[in-house]
Amino acid sequence: MTALSPALKDYLSMRRALGYKLRRTEKLLVQFIEYVEASGADRITIDLALAWARLPAGGDLNWWSGRLSVVRKFATFINTIDPDTEVPPKDLLPAPKSHRAVPFLYSDQDIAALMAAATIFSSPLRVLTCQTLIPLLAVTGMRVGEGIRLDRKDVDIAAGVLTVWLSKFGKSRELPLHPSTVDALRAYLQKRDQLYPNPSAPSLFISTAGTRLLYCNVQWDFSRLVRRAALKPRSKDCRPRIHDLRHSFAVRTIIDAYREDADASLRLPLLSTYLGHLHPGNTYWYLSAAPELLSLAGQRLERSLKEQA
């Protein structure tokens, strides 16, 4: 028999060493271990895992499947130490098949419309923040969470460089900025200091209370701006999302390479580094669903074939 709580610490330490944060996983597994101990059992069984995963009763199948998946990985780890530990089979509570949304690629006009729509907010600071954060995400391809986590010290105005610290998989990176982006950030900081000279948080972007922005509030504001700007879904699977600002940056970077008749394959590793991906392969799926990019690639291939004929 293996004590589950100490084993959980070992399991989390091992996976975090690989770059996973596992905050939600830790919370769920602590709850699961408490459930197992409350049942009087001394090890993981399929019945216990299934019963816990199906909480609350009447829950969504995706939710149940996700909970069981967390236990399955932990049980697999424990099974290597205690062979009597039962591992729930993968076909138990399978999640419904899903597919990734088609990226909504924002044009310059779309970004301008979102910025103009920000005037619906009554707070000048809120307007200023939206009109700076959204275009910054669009021209750097940063994840939304990375933009929110930026501190003021992470922006070197003199050098024109922005530093993203310990993002996904613990990676940090420096992002060179275009002079126009540097000017926009300089103007934002000057106006921000006038509107709120003594914020309580060190963050670059602050709320009307002087605190760091919350993702849920940024998402809510963005949804309002999309409606105000009248940006419509292009299909049932292609709807304007804030994360698609990152997709748009990636696609437009490669489109620029094609239009300049440059070697897009050489630009891909640079783009991957700029986006903070572990490997260029992680960047590929950002590009694979863009009709505009596929069209340009097809035109280049056709031209190449004609030259060879």
Within a 10 A sphere around the Cβ of 124, how many other Cβ atoms?
14
Q: Which residues contact 117 (CB under 8 A, 6 or more apart)?
A: 224, 225, 228, 229
Out of 67, 246, 247, 252, which one is annotated catalytic?
246
246 catalytic per annotation: yes
User: What is the layout of strands, in order, in the sheet containing 173-176?
Assistant: 155-156, 161-164, 173-176
168 catalytic per annotation: yes
72 catalytic per annotation: no
Out of 73, 126, 152, 168, which one is annotated catalytic?
168
CA angle 24, 25, 28 (to 5 degrees): 85
What is the torsion angle, in degrees rounded to the nearest 10, for the CA atoms of residue 231, residue 232, residue 236 and residue 240?
0
The Cα 31–Cα 210 span in angstroms is 35
The Cα 306–Cα 303 span in angstroms is 5
Q: Where are the beta strands (DSSP E) in the chain?
A: 155-156, 161-164, 173-176
The Cα 244–Cα 131 span in angstroms is 17
Out of 126, 152, 243, 267, which one is annotated catalytic?
243
Out of 143, 192, 212, 247, which one is annotated catalytic?
143
The Cα 182–Cα 188 span in angstroms is 10
Reference 277, options 142, 183, 176, 93; nearest CA is: 142
Reference 74, options 27, 4, 16; nearest CA is: 4
Reference 285, options 258, 247, 243; nearest CA is: 247
277 catalytic per annotation: yes
Out of 72, 192, 247, 277, which one is annotated catalytic?
277
Residues marked as catalytic: 143, 168, 243, 246, 277, 286
